[in-house]
Amino acid sequence: MTTPSPATQLLRPDPKRRLALALSVLGAALLVVAAGALLVGSASVSPRAILSVLLGGKPEGIEAVVVLNLRLPRILVAALAGGALAVAGVAFQALTRNPLADPAILGVASGAAFGVVLAQLFGLGATVVAALGLAAFAFAGALVAAGLVYLIAATDGRLPIQTLLLTGVIVGLFFSSAITVVISVVDFNRLGGVIHWLLGNLGPISGGSLAVFAALSAVGLWLVLGRARQLNLLALGEESAIQLGVDAERLKRRIFVGASLLTSSVVAFAGPIGFIGLIVPHMLRGLLGPDNRLLIPAALLAGGVFLLLADTLARTLVAPAELSVGVITAFCGAPFFVYVLRARYRAIP
Amino acid sequence: MRRLGIAVAFLLLLVEPAGAFRLTDSRGRELILPGPPQRIVSLVPSVTEIVYALGGEGRLVGVTDFCDWPPEATNKPRVGGMLAPNLELLVALRADLVVATTEGNRQETFDQLRRLKIPVFIVNAQRVAEVMAVIAQLGELTGRQAAVGPLTDSLMRRIKAVERAVKPYPRPKVLYVLWPEPLIVPGRLGLLTELIELAGGASVTAGEPDAHPRFSLEAVAARAPEVIILARHGADRTPLSRAPWERLTTLPAVRAGRIHSVDGSYLHRYGPRVVDGLELLARMIHPKAFR
């Protein structure tokens, strides 16, 4: 028995059966984790009461409020945000041909966060129109940050790994300090609240915001998933991709916009949460191989599973207080980053 | 005529449920409840202190992790910190009113509570008169209106006594340090600026815009404070480090050895203990007046 080389794996015909298998396993995992998240919390609600609320049996009372207005929206936000971040990670990694690219490490999340803080200064908050405005500010911030990183790091059309990572860190730091400056100048009293938000905290958001979040994530997913096959060809090198008929520049622009849109909508509606775009795609590559047609839909589900698990831990570890979920993902993610860096680049002097 | 009056009264009854409870909060918004609130959660340590001082704690069903005064308050169910109260607990406690503040709680929390249909009453006090107004509001909310007068009267009497005691003396220049690094001081809108004034001092940062502005050490040196008061915070009762200040030997306050420290929980909250804080301040600024 021979293992196929990565190149033949990438060019294999439609991997429908493996995709169906991966998606059904991950989908089942997401359901199990979501059911677990629905069961635990500070308010004691019995599993039977939760079931009856979900089936529409108890429209009033504490159980209904806890399940329908608090836990369920939070689960949806976590699953969506985790999925969007993981897909954004796959996209940035394919775009830069670099497994360490991640929305947070590239500084894109910080750019989006700066946009959100600006939008909040203008009083954009809870209504649907305001949610769109918030997302627009975040998207603009993400595009500016990603564009800056790209322009600074690109040398002769290539993105050397060290330069890319350093540029991402620098651009991220720049936008973080820009946030601090804005808050210190405008309203120092709000600094505590903004720092709390910057740590990454999931909370129940309004139905309108959730709808806007879902719609924007769907557009971002479509932009990335629709070019999964071309991304596989890009992995062979830009020249080979062009020879195989890929319009590399157009492809890169589309992926760039899609990944920025995914990142910025997460930042706008769930706050900046790091490292999911790094951990989840890397684990999936180990299991499924490098085919983006498999990776992208699998990342959508697996990212949801991961963030939902992290958020449930955040809610329960120090109950009745809550940890910031961003702290938990960073706690797992930072060592993971070091591991990937060491394992992959040990050979390079 | 009388018939018309009865008709109007009847119409009013139709518009508004009998026994509706109305109260305007510190942002000028009118709170309308079907009846007086019975299960109140306080997201503000100052509010918790006032409710206990009024004897209204029977209607208080939840407090924050920071509500540590009076000591009995720590036995109430806790709903987490001021920035991120646990919404599930608020629901499980069947809160029918949350009392919060714009200084310390977040707009996101207010939005979330609105979606959960839990009414929010906002309090805020940056002047002694506003402290008295908040005490009156909380008296209404907890059904302890009768306790408001005696409490505010005794507080006002003690404030007047401090004013009388310090009146004969010239006002020294006072620097109050809310936070040492970065240096944060009470500004024009801060309650502390008024308290320093009442205690017979002249705050060197009284003209700064905002309630709690940041300040530079150079600006401190330029204003040559004669008394420096360092605030201690929260559960941390260890004395603040005076060393960084004692190095500034050209300051009159340092040369005269007039660096004091005070427990901030008296002065940074606007509960009844703020008058205890005022008396402490006055003794630091005018030791001769209280011999």
Edge-to-edge, what's the strand order for the sheet holding B120-123?
A: B60-62, B40-42, B97-101, B120-123
d(CA A189, CA B179): 13
Interface of A to B at Cβ within 8 Å reads 41-44, 62, 65-66, 69-71, 125-126, 184, 188-189, 192-193, 196-197, 201, 203-204, 206, 319-322
pLDDT tens, A37-66? 999 887 778 888 888 888 877 667 788 888
* Spatial contact of B145 and B41, defined as CB atoms under 8 Å apart: no
At position A219, the amino acid (one-letter code) is: V
Give this complex's ipTM: 0.71
pLDDT tens, B39-53? 999 999 999 999 999
- Please tell me which residue, B50 or A183, carries the higher pLDDT value: B50
- Residue B29 DSSP symbol: P
Confidence band, pLDDT 50/70/90 cuts, at residue A99? confident
pLDDT tens, A236-282? 888 888 888 888 888 888 998 999 999 999 999 998 998 899 999 99
> Which region, left, alpha or beta, applies to residue B231 given φ > 0 means left and ψ of -120 to 50 means alpha?
beta
Q: Quote the pLDDT of residue B17.
A: 53
User: For testing the chain B interface, which of A40, A60, A63, A65 should be mutated: the one with the most B CBs within 10 Å?
Assistant: A65
Query: Are the Cβ atoms of B214 and A43 closer than 8 angstroms?
Result: no
d(CA A301, CA A310): 14
Q: Quote the pLDDT of residue A225.
A: 93
d(CA B139, CA B133): 10
Distance from CA of B86 to the nearest CA of A (A): 7
Q: Quote the pLDDT of residue A2.
A: 45
| pLDDT of residue A126 exceeding 70 | no
User: For testing the chain A interface, which of B41, B63, B64, B88 should be mutated: the one with the most A CBs within 10 Å?
Assistant: B88
Q: Quote the pLDDT of residue A322.
A: 78
What residues of chain B, 97 to 116, have a C-beta less than 8 Å from chain A?
103-104, 106-108, 111-112, 115-116
What's the distance, Cα to Cα, between the start and end of chain A in Å? 34
Q: Quote the pLDDT of residue B160.
A: 95
d(CA A291, CA A8): 10
Residue ranges, chain B, pLDDT below 70 = 1-18, 234-240
- Rounded to 10 degrees, the C-alpha dihedral A336/A338/A340/A343 comes to -130
Closest alpha carbon to B46 in B278, B276, B272: B272
Instruction: Report the CATH fold assignment for B158-290.
Output: Rossmann fold (3.40.50)
d(CA A86, CA A225): 13
* Spatial contact of B165 and B282, defined as CB atoms under 8 Å apart: yes
Residues from chain A that touch B87, judged by Cβ atoms under 8 A, are 70, 203-204
Residues from chain B that touch A66, judged by Cβ atoms under 8 A, are 88, 91-92
Q: Quote the pLDDT of residue A187.
A: 65
User: Range(s) for CATH 3.40.50.1980 in chain B?
Assistant: 17-143, 158-290
| pLDDT of residue A3 exceeding 60 | no
pLDDT tens, B181-229? 778 899 888 899 999 999 999 999 998 887 888 888 888 888 999 999 9
- Number of Cβ within 10 Å of residue B242's Cβ equals 14
Residues from chain B that touch A189, judged by Cβ atoms under 8 A, are 103-104, 211-212
* Spatial contact of B274 and B156, defined as CB atoms under 8 Å apart: no
Residues from chain B that touch A322, judged by Cβ atoms under 8 A, are 80, 84, 86
Q: Select from A62, A65, A322 the Cβ nearest to the Cβ of B86.
A: A322
Mean pLDDT, residues A118-130 taken together: 72
d(CA A129, CA A139): 15
Mean pLDDT, residues A320-331 taken together: 84
Identify the CATH number of the domain defined by range B17-143. Answer: 3.40.50.1980
* Spatial contact of A272 and A200, defined as CB atoms under 8 Å apart: yes
Strands B97-101, B120-123: pairing kind = parallel
Edge-to-edge, what's the strand order for the sheet holding B173-177?
A: B202-203, B173-177, B227-232, B259-263
**Across all residues in chain A, what is the average pLDDT?**
85
d(CA B239, CA B250): 23
- Six token digits for residue B252: 């009159």
d(CA B158, CA B278): 9
- All structural domains of chain A, each given as residue ranges with its CATH number in brackets, are 73-343 (1.10.3470.10)
Q: Is the peptide bond before A320 cis (omega within 30 degrees of 0)?
A: yes
Secondary structure (H, E, C), A280-299: HHHHHHHHHCCCHHHHHHHH
At position B251, the amino acid (one-letter code) is: L
Mean pLDDT, residues A130-140 taken together: 89
Q: How many CB pairs under 8 A join A and B?
A: 72
* Spatial contact of B131 and B248, defined as CB atoms under 8 Å apart: no
Helix, strand, or coil here: B206?
A: coil
Nearest CA in chain B to A323: B84
Secondary structure (H, E, C), chain A: CCCCCHHHHHHCCCCHHHHHHHHHHHHHHHHHHHHHHHHCCCCCCCHHHHHHHHCCCCCCHHHHHHHHHHHHHHHHHHHHHHHHHHHHHHHHHHHHCCCCCCCCCCCHHHHHHHHHHHHHHCCCCCCHHHHHHHHHHHHHHHHHHHHHHHHHHCECCECCHHHHHHHHHHHHHHHHHHHHHHHHHHCHHHHHHHHHHHCCCCCCCCHHHHHHHHHHHHHHHHHHHCCHHHHHHHCCCHHHHHHCCCCHHHHHHHHHHHHHHHHHHHHHHHCCCCCHHHHHHHHHHHHHCCCHHHHHHHHHHHHHHHHHHHHHHHHHCCCCCCCCHHHHHHHHHHHHHHHHHHHHHCCCC
Q: Quote the pLDDT of residue A1.
A: 39
Q: Where are the beta strands (DSSP E) in B148-280?
A: 173-177, 202-203, 227-232, 259-263
Distance from CA of B103 to the nearest CA of A (A): 7
Q: Quote the pLDDT of residue B6.
A: 58
Q: Quote the pLDDT of residue A346.
A: 59
